[in-house]
Amino acid sequence: MGSASQDTYVLPEATAPSLVLAHPTDTEKHRTWTLNHREWGGALALEEYLKREPYFTTIPLTRDGGMTHWILTDSSWSADRGGNRPVLASCESIRKRVLVASPSDNTVHDGVGHGIGSVFTYPEFRGNRYAARMLNELGPALRKWQSDGRDAVCSALWSDIGKTYYAKKGWAAFPSLHVEFLVSTNHQTGESGGDKVSPITYDNLEPLCQRDEQLLKEKLLHTAQKTSRTSVAFAPDHDTLRWHLYRDDFIASILFKSDPSQSQEPFSRGALAGPQGRRVWALWSRNYYGGGSGSAPADNVDKNTLYILRLVVEPEESSEEGEDENPSEDIHEAFAAVIQAALREASRWHLGKVDLWNPSPTVKKLIDRSGFRHRWVERDEDSIPSMMWYGDEDVRDVEWVANEKYCWC
């Protein structure tokens, strides 16, 4: 909203009944992206970021209405003030598949969940609690949004302002542990493992996603029975994983001034090791630090990160039946080969570290025995997984299984 309009408009209280959730126009989206580029543009210049955001509505998971843009505005804004209504706060939601298992049921149920991102208040409106009001409206709205008349299962967001703010609004904080492997201290660790791994590409991705979902359903049932608590997971399906990979492709094609998938040595989407039925695989994506317009990926290697989106051990439950039981030697070898492949890929693409979020007990054992130098990080401020539960249970009685980076949006 321009300054001329502000001269004739008195900002309402955050509790004003005239404030409503709405969907922005294309012009309002463009202005919002222009303002929030500093927060979420990463290594992209503004003009590149303004191309990326509309692109996100055209790729798997978020196309065909899968992404919804929201704003908080004032319904009392009259036509005689012009069409430039106030955008007091903004955010986005992404519709996702969610898998749910109950301790009283032997079936895993499919439902709708929503990921929330880009919560933002225009600078000139900050300090008025408009984002809080928007979230108070959004939480209940998402319960019925795009869920075919049923209640959605949950909504989730990843807080960059600690564990308290969103928890007070109904999104409870969940574990935010990750393991970090520094490329500089691990690049020469162990054997190369190149002959033990196969690259994951777009061509072989879908069957791996299908197998992953099958394994995850088994784990949800096992967890629900073991804990006597409802267990939930975001489905690691083909569309969800491709959303991350297409996002990665778009950013890298700008930063490296070419499409990596067309180069002689393309960026691998992940790595797979081990024989059928005893496999370990990981899918990953790149994140380049926003060092300012014109900076190159090689300028910020220490901050650039290869995120393991999803790590799968096939099968995993047999390794968790007994607390003292360790994964077998072939699983250890497959895991080590996959992590070594991730480190090699990170080094090749100017990424200084490899991060894996909330590894399972089995994967923790594999890490501890792997010989890779690593450190454990408990995040207190950024990327805190937070969930609003729409079921009858208290969210504190819900087990979020596979709380890994692929869930993030």
Reference 377, options 163, 179, 183; nearest CA is 179
How many Cβ atoms sit within 10 Å of the Cβ of residue 178?
A: 20
Confidence (pLDDT) at 79 = 53
Within a domain: 198: yes
Confidence (pLDDT) at 370 = 94
Confidence (pLDDT) at 296 = 86
Higher-confidence residue of 254 and 323: namely 254
Within a domain: 261: yes
Within a domain: 273: yes
Integer Cα distance of 349 and 389 in angstroms: 39
Predicted confidence (pLDDT) per residue in 69-84, tens digit? 999 999 998 655 656 8
- Cβ atoms 146, 113 nearer than 8 A: no
- Cβ atoms 290, 314 nearer than 8 A: no
Confidence (pLDDT) at 261 = 47
Query: Do 262 and 369 fall into the same domain?
Result: yes
Predicted confidence (pLDDT) per residue in 341-352, tens digit? 999 999 999 999
Integer Cα distance of 397 and 19 in angstroms: 34
Query: Do 321 and 241 fall into the same domain?
Result: yes
Given pLDDT bands bounded at 50, 70 and 90, which one contains residue 191? very low
Given pLDDT bands bounded at 50, 70 and 90, which one contains residue 123? very high
Given pLDDT bands bounded at 50, 70 and 90, which one contains residue 294? low
Given pLDDT bands bounded at 50, 70 and 90, which one contains residue 325? confident
Query: Do 266 and 338 fall into the same domain?
Result: yes
129 pLDDT higher than 70? yes
CATH assignment of the domain containing 162? 3.40.630.30
Query: Do 205 and 226 fall into the same domain?
Result: yes
Within a domain: 359: yes
Integer Cα distance of 179 and 111 in angstroms: 30
Query: How many domains would you assign to the chain?
Result: 2
Least confident of 1-15, 92-106, 277-291: 1-15
Query: Do 164 and 183 fall into the same domain?
Result: no
Predicted confidence (pLDDT) per residue in 297-322, tens digit? 999 999 999 999 999 999 875 444 44
Confidence (pLDDT) at 237 = 98
Confidence (pLDDT) at 9 = 80
* Mean pLDDT, residues 147-159 taken together: 95
Percent of the chain exceeding pLDDT 90 equals 84
Higher-confidence residue of 214 and 195: namely 214
22 pLDDT higher than 80? yes
Confidence (pLDDT) at 209 = 98
Query: Do 165 and 197 fall into the same domain?
Result: no
359 pLDDT higher than 70? yes
Integer Cα distance of 41 and 272 in angstroms: 32
Integer Cα distance of 330 and 279 in angstroms: 9
Percent of the chain exceeding pLDDT 70 equals 89
3 pLDDT higher than 50? no
Confidence (pLDDT) at 117 = 97
Reported pTM: 0.93
Query: Do 80 and 193 fall into the same domain?
Result: no
Confidence (pLDDT) at 255 = 93
Higher-confidence residue of 257 and 337: namely 337
**3-state DSSP assignment of residue 87:** coil
Residue where one domain finishes, among candidates 145, 173, 201: 173
Within a domain: 165: yes
Query: Do 196 and 147 fall into the same domain?
Result: no
388 pLDDT higher than 50? yes
Integer Cα distance of 39 and 48 in angstroms: 14
Confidence (pLDDT) at 84 = 84
Least confident of 56-70, 194-208, 214-228: 194-208
Within a domain: 391: no
Query: Do 231 and 315 fall into the same domain?
Result: yes
Within a domain: 188: yes
Query: Do 10 and 27 fall into the same domain?
Result: yes
Structure tokens at 231: 């267990």
Residue where one domain finishes, among candidates 173, 207, 223: 173
Confidence (pLDDT) at 287 = 96
Query: Do 194 and 168 fall into the same domain?
Result: no
Integer Cα distance of 249 and 360 in angstroms: 28
155 pLDDT higher than 90? yes
Confidence (pLDDT) at 196 = 87
**3-state DSSP assignment of residue 199:** strand
Residue where one domain finishes, among candidates 138, 173, 208: 173
Phi, psi (rounded to 5 degrees) for 255: -65, -35
- List all residues 6 or more positions away from 120 whose beta carbon is below 8 Å from its beta carbon: 32, 35, 36, 39, 89, 90, 91, 131
Integer Cα distance of 202 and 206 in angstroms: 8
Q: What integer best gives the mean pLDDT of the chain? A: 91
Query: Do 249 and 332 fall into the same domain?
Result: yes
List the domain range (segments joined by +) for residue 233.
177-380
Within a domain: 400: no
263 pLDDT higher than 60? no
Least confident of 8-12, 149-153, 207-211: 8-12
